[in-house]
Amino acid sequence: MQDERQDMAADGAHTGDRTEAQPAVSGTASVGPTVPARRPATSLLTWGTVALVLVIVVVLVVIKLTGTPTAPTSSAPPPPVPASPTIVHAITSIPASVYDAIGITSPDAAVTPPTLLHGQALLSRAGKPEVLFVGNEFCPYCAAERWALVAALSRFGTFSVLDQIQSGSNEAFPSTPTFTFSGAHYASKYIAVDLVEHYSDEKNGAGTAYAILQHLTSQERSLMAKYDRTTPGAPRGVVPFVDVANQAVVAGGSFSPSIFQQLSVADIANGLTDPKDPATQAIVASANYLSAVICRADGQQPSHVCASHGVAAAARGLHLAP
């Protein structure tokens, strides 16, 4: 993918004074040489007030020009927490028996299969089919999708760095436990990946919006505009967005994050060896679907994954040719 990045940002006060007219006061004459009339005391008070206001204004201007700069309108989010080796192992090494036992069965959290694309040029990089993910850290549906995507990608390669976060606390399905792809490291001999976290789970310095983590390239924007489904009345597509080599897409998530409510990262990870666990069923069924379309894109490699019972069940569900 290209490294050109673009996006947007944006962020005053005025006060006034009131003056009052003073009543006119006559001067007095004295015997002898004529002397100027004395300035009334009230007039002196008025001019003194004006002078004081001018001094205050000058002082404020000096402070503005020489004082400490104001805080920036946005700030970088704090570093994410590295996922423990136990958690990483659990999500990246789900037993083959669990994949095969679940297949695409998920009665407690309905799973939406990827949408197949036909007649599209293969999305690739360095001679490998490419998987593009675009999400936001604050997004709960992105949080749920990452569990399935990490599981699926781990069948074709290896994550060496993976951090954990939660979705936004003020969003629907708040604080959904998940991972972030910001700073993640992944390697595979079968596929290439482009894992983009557009917005953070932290607000900017002004507290007006979520901080931007990664700007989208023109190619990433183009793919979303072409293949992402859109919400009525909204100019942009929805996230999470997963494009599997232009062979299939997931737009808006595979399943509801409601299945993770009241669960911690450890709770979810500990259930990944139990094919009857509801959260595990949603993750694994989604991962089998993603694995089936990745196998379609990379020529059915590795064979032990692509020929497995779980992936075969997903391929049948998608009506993919054997």
Q: In this predicted model, what pLDDT tens digit does every residue of 29-51 receive, in sequence order?
A: 333 444 444 444 445 445 555 55
pLDDT tens-place string over residues 289-308: 999 999 999 999 999 999 99
Residue ranges with strand state E in 117-262: 124-125, 128-135, 158-166, 177-187, 192-197, 199-203, 210-212, 241-244, 248-251
Nearest alpha carbon to residue 183 among 283, 290, 94, 81: 81
Q: Which residue type occupies 208?
A: T
Nearest alpha carbon to residue 2 among 122, 125, 121, 185: 125
> Does 74 map to a domain?
no
- What average pLDDT does range 209-228 have in this prediction? 94
198 has a pLDDT exceeding 70: yes
> Does 50 map to a domain?
no
Based on the structure, what is the number of domains in the chain?
A: 1
> Does 48 map to a domain?
no
User: 313 and 320 in contact (C-beta within 8 Å)?
Assistant: no
Number of helices (H) and strands (E) in the chain: give both, helices first. Answer: 9, 11
Quote the domain boundaries for residue 268: 83-317
> Does 277 map to a domain?
yes
Tokens of 162: 């993976």
Per the DSSP assignment, residues forming a β-bridge with 161 are: 185
**DSSP classification of residue 216:** B
> Does 1 map to a domain?
no
CB-based contacts of 284: which residues, under 8 Å, 6+ apart? 94, 98, 99, 102, 148, 151, 272, 275, 310
> Does 137 map to a domain?
yes
How many whole angstroms separate alpha carbon 137 and alpha carbon 300?
A: 32
The confidence score (pLDDT) of residue 183 equals 92
pLDDT confidence band for 61 (50 / 70 / 90): very low
> Does 77 map to a domain?
no
Residue with tokens 């490294």: 3
How many whole angstroms separate alpha carbon 10 and alpha carbon 201?
A: 19
Residue with tokens 């054997």: 322
Nearest alpha carbon to residue 144 among 68, 60, 240, 213: 240
The confidence score (pLDDT) of residue 54 equals 56
Q: How far is CA 252 from CA 6, 134, 149, 204, in A?
A: 23, 11, 13, 25
How many whole angstroms separate alpha carbon 68 and alpha carbon 159?
A: 44
pLDDT tens-place string over residues 71-105: 333 344 446 889 999 999 999 999 999 999 999 99
The confidence score (pLDDT) of residue 206 equals 86
> Does 183 map to a domain?
yes
Average model confidence (pLDDT) for the chain?
Answer: 82
